[in-house]
Amino acid sequence: MIDVATEWMSDLKEGWCPSAGYYNRESCCWINNETNLNMIEEHCSLWHTWGAYAGVSGDVNEYVVDYIIYVSAAVVFAGLAGLFVTTLAPYAAGSGIPEVKTILSGFIIRGYLGAWTLLVKSLGMVLAVGAGLTLGKEGPLVHVACCCGNLFTRLFPKYYNNEAKKREVLSAAAAAGVSVAFGAPVGGVLFSLEEVCMYRRVHSMTHVVAWRF
């Protein structure tokens, strides 16, 4: 869902799909059977740039309108991302990996893996990446996955009331986050075992691998 929203926000700076506003550019062109990627890059009858959508005449005028809207949208997206994080959930700032490693080493940071942090982190990540900022969603996805893992443990008192078992779930969640970000399940498991886990037991390793697959 985060990937889909990020692609939609990125393309929204350039234009709009009138027939289906929730589609990004590629999806908008695919519904018209324009499946040739070269055609999608060069021309798509269903995708309208903002200049064309506004009915501006002339290539130069259309380019100026597209440029102004592109820059304005990027500034608005980036500003909203910063505003949401600073005012609603300061814990959502940064990649989150150092803090996750701190939690897994035995410390408790209350609220860092809560539902509100998860919501603001996900929204801020979509806005920041959609704005075109020089950052990626790989690191934040680890934080998002650990938030999901922490919320999941609340359904099972056996894990939620046991800090050791909860950290096993969080280790598996960190592995899942890296796996989703890079499409590498084995790499996610190795990341969890080498970079995140502060202790290594055969029992814990088995849980991490089992939870990931």
Q: Is residue 82 classed as helix, strand or coil in its secondary structure?
A: helix
79 and 113 inside one domain: no
Question: Of 46, 72, 88, which residue is a domain's last?
Answer: 88
What's residue 31's pLDDT? Answer: 67
Boundaries of domain holding 56: 1-88
Coil, helix or strand for 161? coil
Bridge partners of residue 48, in order along the sequence = 16
Please list, in sequence order, all residues whose beta carbon lies within 8 angstroms of the beta carbon of residue 172, skipping any fewer than 6 positions away: 149, 192, 207, 208, 210, 211, 212
Give the start-end residues of each E strand in the chain: 15-16, 48-49
148-158: b or e for each residue (b if 16 or more CB lie within 10 Å)? bbbeebeeeee
Domain end point (choices 28, 57, 88)? 88
The pTM for the full model equals 0.78
The reported pLDDT for the residue numbered 147 is 93
Task: Say yes or no: 171 and 143 in one domain.
Answer: yes
Query: Each residue's pLDDT tens digit in the chain (213 positions)?
Result: 787 888 888 888 988 888 787 888 888 877 665 555 554 455 677 788 888 777 777 778 888 888 999 999 999 999 999 999 999 999 998 888 888 888 888 888 888 998 999 999 999 999 998 898 878 787 888 899 999 999 999 998 888 888 888 888 888 888 888 888 888 888 888 887 777 766 555 455 555 555 555
Q: Does 57 share its domain with 128?
A: no
pLDDT the model gives residue 202: 47
